[in-house]
A and B are shown apart, each in its own frame.
Chain A
C-alpha cells in the first residue's frame, strides 16, 4: 500500500488502517525530536539528587533483618554508639508517626508499615535501626555492631500457603494474610454472567496454571534522598523519587510536619520504572536532619536496591476457559494471587487495576475472577511498568495458545475470532471502543508469512460488535465467598473507633445459597450508554455507596475502608 512508510529499523507507519478516524495532525510522529533535557544529559550537568553537595553531609545506613520473620526482643546500640564517626542512631521510637501505608493519601488501605520496625520484622532486609555517621564507610561499619535480639518466627513465602488456615500471620493489620476489599472480602471479585453454567455447556473446558517471578526495576541510579535544613524553618529534600507529592505527603505524615515546612526538589530521576515511588528515603533523610541538625543522605547501595528495593510482585494464576468447537470462548474463570510481600504498598491497587483488565481484550460473555492481594514474608512489592496488567496478560496469552491448540485453530485466528469489536460490552461493564486487536493480528500474521482464511482477513474491529454483544448478561451469578468481619467500608479519612480483630468468617461452599448481593465490580454510572439487563437481577441490596468525589477518588471508594 502506498501510505506505508518504513524507516531503516523496520518501523512501519500503517496509515491505511483507520484512515477515516485520523486527521494526521500529529506533527511530531516520524520526525527527529530532541529531548528538552538531553543537553544536560550529554554534558553530565543534569542535576540528579546526589549531585547536590553539602558541607558536613552525614550518611545514613540501615540495620536490616537477616530473618524472613522475627520478633524484635531488644536492640542494643551501645557498641555502635561508640564507633568512630557515629553521630546518632535512630530507631522506630524516633519516628513521630511510625506507621503508614503508601496509598493512605488516596484512601487505599490501612496503615500497616513502619519506617523503622519496632515490634517485629516480616521480610529479610526490613530496617530496624538507622546509623547516621560522618562517612558512608563509618555508617556501614557501625551497622554491623548493632546487636538485635531476635525471636525467629515461622515464615511463609508462598501465596497459597499464606492463605491456608494456620499460616503464620505476616502483617497484623490483615490477620488473614489478605488485603480486605470494600471492607468486606478477602479478595477482589469480578462477576459477569454465569461462568459455572457456561462451563457446563461448553464443548471444551481448558485449565491452566501460570506464574511470574518478581521483577526488580534495576534503575542505574539507586534510590535515595538528601535532606538539609533551610534557614526559614523548612527542610529541603533533594530526591530521586518518581512521585514527588507521594513522597512529600508520606514524609509529612510520618514526621508529623506540615508540608509547608518541606521543600521537595526532584524531577531528574536516574531511571525509575516504578521502583522510586515508595518514599522511604525522604522521611529517613529528613528525620536524620531533624535529629542531628546536619544534612543527611539516605541512599541504597546496589545490593540493597536488588534485595530490599520493592519489585513488581510475583503472581500466580489459575485459568479455566469454556470453549466451543468453533473456537468461541464462552466462559473464563480466574483465580489470581498477587504476592504483596510483607506490606501493602501498591499491590492493593494493582489488584483493582488487574480486575478491570480481565478477561483480556476478548469478548467473553461469562467472566468470573477472584483476585487476592496476599501477604507473605517476602520483599514488599510495588509499582513496576504495567504492574497489575502485564503479569496476567502473560497468563491470558499463554492460555490462548493452549486453547487454540485444543480446538485446532491457529493462535492468531483464535485471537481474531474472540477479539473485542467496537460496541461490545466488557466484563467491567464499559463498552469497547477504538478496538484494534483484529487489525494488529492481521498485520502480524502478514509479517510472519502466515496465510489467514478469507474470513479472518475480512474481519474488522469496526464490524460485528454491538447489538446483542453490547448487552449485559441477563443474569450474573453472585456470592459472598471470602466475607471478612471486623472491617468496614467508608472513608479512611474518617477512620475511628477501637480496632477489632478481623477474621475470615465465612467461605461458602460452591452452590450454597448466598444472601443476595451486588457483584463487587464497579456498577455502571448513569451516563453509561449500556442497556440495563432485561431480566431482574438477584439484587436487593441498597445501591453502592456513592463516592464523595469523582476522578481518582473513585478508585478509593472501591477499597477504602476502616477497621472497626
Chain B
C-alpha cells in the first residue's frame, strides 16, 4: 500500500506523518500523530466526538480524508490551554460539572472554542446552535451550555 506523506500544523506544531490511502483524519490524528483527544463515536458524522478545527472551521475528523489536510492548521482539544494552564473554557467545564463520562467532551470543547473565537459574546441560542452537532448522553446539555455561557463577554483566547 502506497503511503501518502502529510505535512500539517497540529495544535501549533509542524508535524509530518504518513497516511494510508482512504484513511480518515480521526484515525490519522490518533494513530499517526498520537493525539488521542478526538474520539470515535460513530464514524458516520452523527455524534461530533471527533470534532476538530481545520483552518479555524469545525470539521468532523471521521468524515475527512487525512490526505486533504496537507498544509492545513488542525486543532484538537489537546491543543487547548498553554502547558499546565488550562483554557478558560476547560476551567469553565470543570466548574460547571459539564462532563460526566467525558467521551463527548473533547469534541464539545472544540465546537465551543470555535464559537467563542468567532463570537465572544454568544446568546444561549447561539451556544445551543454551536454544539448542536455534538451529542452528549450523560450530563444533559444544560451544564455544558452554562459553562460556555459563563465565558460570554470575556476576551477570546489567543
Interface residues of A (CB under 8 A from B): 9, 32-35, 37-46, 48, 50-51, 53, 135, 137, 218-222, 268-273, 301-302
> Do the beta carbons of A220 and B104 come within 8 Å of each other?
yes
In whole angstroms, how far apart are the Cα atoms of A38 and B98 in the complex? Answer: 9
In the complex, B120 has a CB within 8 A of chain A: no
Choice from B39, B81, B86 contacting A221 with Cβ under 8 Å: B39
Query: Are A302 and B39 in touch, CB under 8 angstroms?
Result: no
- Is B68 positioned at the interface, with any CB of A under 8 Å from its CB? no
Question: B101 to A33, Cβ gap below 8 A?
Answer: no
A44–B41 contact, CB under 8 A? no
List residues of B (10-33) whose CB comes within 8 Å of A's CBs: 20, 22, 30-31
24 A–B contacts, CB within 8 A, in A order: A9-B142, A33-B97, A34-B94, A35-B94, A35-B97, A35-B99, A35-B100, A38-B94, A38-B102, A42-B99, A43-B37, A43-B90, A44-B38, A53-B30, A53-B34, A135-B20, A221-B39, A221-B40, A270-B41, A271-B101, A271-B137, A302-B41, A302-B44, A302-B46
B74 contacts the other chain (CB 8 A)? no
Instruction: Write the nearest CB–CB distance from B141 to chain A, whole angstroms.
Output: 13
* Chain A residues, CB < 8 A from B103: 48, 219-221, 270-271
B66 adjacent to chain A (CB < 8 Å): no
User: A42: shortest Cβ distance to chain B, in Å?
Assistant: 4
Contacts A34-B95, A43-B77, A221-B39 aside, 7 further interface pairs with beta carbons under 8 A come to: A42-B91, A42-B93, A46-B102, A53-B34, A220-B103, A271-B100, A302-B46
43-95 of chain B: CB within 8 A of chain A: 43-44, 46-47, 49, 76-78, 80-81, 86, 90-91, 93-95
Q: Is B101 a contact partner of A44 (Cβ separation < 8 A)? A: no
| Bound complex: CA A535 to CA B104 (Å) | 61
With a cutoff of 8 Å between Cβ atoms, the chain B residues found around residue A50 in the complex are 39-40
Measured between C-beta atoms, what is the minimum distance from B101 to chain A in Å? Answer: 5
A269 adjacent to B86 (CB under 8 Å)? no
Q: Is B127 an interface residue (CB 8 A)?
A: no
- State whether B39 touches A137 (Cβ < 8 A): no
- Given A43-B86, A51-B36, CB of A220 within 8 Å of CB of B137: yes
Which has the most chain A C-beta neighbours within 10 Å: B20, B78, B138?
B138
In the complex, chain A residues whose CB is within 8 Å of the CB of B78? 43-45
Question: For residue A270, which residue of chain B has the nearest CB?
Answer: B103
B58 CB, min distance to chain A CBs, angstroms = 16
**B31 near A53 (CB under 8 angstroms)?**
yes
Pick the 9 closest A-B CB pairs, nearest first. Answer: A44-B37, A41-B102, A270-B103, A302-B42, A42-B90, A44-B106, A44-B77, A41-B99, A51-B36
A539 to B131, CA, bound (A): 63
Specify which chain B residues have a CB less than 8 angstroms from the CB of A38 in the assembled complex.
93-94, 97, 99, 102
Cα–Cα, bound, A30→B6 (Å) = 51
Tell me if A270 and B39 are in contact (CB < 8 A): yes
Asked if B151 is at the interface of the complex by the 8 Å CB criterion, the answer is: no
Contact B142 A220 (CB under 8 A): no
Report yes or no: B137 in contact with A218, Cβ–Cβ below 8 A.
yes
CB of B17 to closest CB in A, whole Å: 14
Contacts of B142 in A (CB 8 A): 9
Mask: chain B, 98-117; 1 = CB below 8 Å from A; 0 = not: 01111111100100000000
Looking at A42, A270, A272, which has the most chain B CB atoms within 10 Å of its CB? Answer: A42
Is B136 engaged at the interface, CB distance under 8 Å to the other chain? yes
| Interface flag for B135 (CB, 8 Å) | yes
CB contact list, B109-158 vs A, under 8 A: 109, 135-138, 142
Measured in the bound complex, the distance between the Cα atoms of B143 and A32 in whole Å is 12
In the complex, A417→B135 CA distance in Å?
42
Chain B residues with CB under 8 Å of A220's CB are 39, 41, 47, 49, 101, 103-104, 135-137
Given contacts A220-B47, A271-B138, A273-B137, A42 and B34 within 8 Å (CB-CB): no
| Residue on A nearest B96 in the bound complex, by CB | A32
Contacts of B102 in A (CB 8 A): 37-38, 40-42, 46, 268, 270
Give, as a whole number of angstroms, the nearest-CB distance from A560 to chain B. Answer: 34
Least distance between B92 CB and chain A CB atoms (Å):
9
**Cβ-defined contact, B43 with A302, below 8 A:** yes
Instruction: Select A44's contact among B42, B95, B105, beta carbons within 8 Å.
Output: B105
**Complex Cα spacing A32 to B92, Å:** 12
Question: Nearest A residue to B103 by beta-carbon distance?
Answer: A270
Q: How far is the CA of A44 from the CA of B109 in the complex (A)?
A: 10
Which residue of the partner chain A has the closest CB to B46? A302
Q: How far is the CA of A548 from the CA of B20 in the complex (A)?
A: 59
User: Are A301's CB and B43's CB within 8 A?
Assistant: yes
Q: How far is the CB of A224 from chain B (nearest CB, A)?
A: 9
Nearest residue in A to B93 (C-beta to C-beta)?
A42
